[in-house]
């Protein structure tokens, strides 16, 4: 079965690093449990945090940036996350945004914000990260072509996953 073309987004990158099965479900527009308390908490933190940043949530092509601002050194894009528990996913999602901007001729640096933990982490698009992202993007395109989702695998993210009913019901 051939899957229609799709625009790769930072959300696909995020979910890939959490669980490739989630990416397949997302690509098929199978929505997670919208009443999941973790989704509600994430939305609340996203909406309420950094409210004074004027340039919040900017869309540019297939990317949606949480925070965009200028500092002394140049353009800074920020991504707000509920927890640093998924730091690798968040780093790669932000790296994807930095790569997309770079491909448009825009240099920027990134910052991850974990308001609940009062933490901030700087993210730079390195050669290694760029290489990993390009490989990940190919893997996601491969997942998109699968007729069936990858087999579920019990991982530490499953307990709080809004898709757990699709895997373990």
Condensed to tens digits (0 to 9), the pLDDT of residues 44-103 reads 444 554 455 545 667 778 888 888 888 888 999 999 888 888 899 999 999 999 999 999
Q: Is the pLDDT of residue 41 over 80?
A: no
% of the chain exceeding 90 in pLDDT: 42
Token duo for residue 147: 């007729």
State whether the Cα torsion 92-97-98-104 is positive or negative.
positive
Ramachandran area for residue 60 (φ above 0: left; ψ -120 to 50: alpha; else beta): beta
| Chain position carrying tokens 């991504």 | 79
* Predicted TM-score of the model (pTM): 0.81
Q: How far apart are CA 72 and CA 34, in angstroms?
A: 40
Q: Which of 114-118, 127-131, 144-148 has the highest mean pLDDT?
A: 127-131
What Cα–Cα distance (Å) separates residue 35 from each residue in 44, 52, 87?
13, 28, 24
Q: How far apart are CA 75 and CA 70, in angstroms?
A: 5
Detail the DSSP E strand segments found in 37-88: 56-60, 63-71, 74-80
Give Cα 97 to chain centroid, integer Å. Answer: 9
Which residues neighbour 125 within 8 Å (Cβ) at sequence distance 6 or greater?
95, 98, 99, 102, 110
Q: For the chain, what are the domain ranges? A: 8-166
Domain 8-166 in CATH 3.90.320.10? The answer is yes
Token duo for residue 68: 């965009």
pLDDT, residue 130, reads 97
């Amino acid at each position: 079965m051939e899957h229609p073309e799709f625009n790769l987004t930072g959300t696909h990158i995020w979910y890939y690093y959490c669980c490739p099965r989630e990416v397949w479900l997302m690509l098929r527009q199978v929505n997670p449990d919208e009443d999941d308390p973790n989704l509600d908490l994430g939305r609340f933190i996203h909406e309420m945090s950094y409210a004074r940043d004027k340039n919040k949530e900017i869309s540019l092509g297939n990317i949606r940036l949480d925070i965009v601002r200028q500092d002394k050194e140049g353009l800074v894009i920020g991504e707000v996350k509920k927890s640093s528990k998924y730091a690798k996913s968040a780093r790669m999602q932000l790296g994807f945004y930095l790569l997309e901007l770079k491909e448009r001729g825009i240099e920027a640096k990134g910052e991850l914000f974990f308001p609940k933990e009062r933490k901030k982490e700087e993210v730079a698009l390195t050669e290694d990260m760029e290489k990993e992202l390009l490989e990940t993007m190919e893997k996601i395109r491969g997942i998109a072509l699968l007729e069936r989702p990858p087999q579920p695998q019990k991982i530490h993210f499953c307990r709080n996953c809004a898709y757990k009913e699709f895997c373990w019901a």
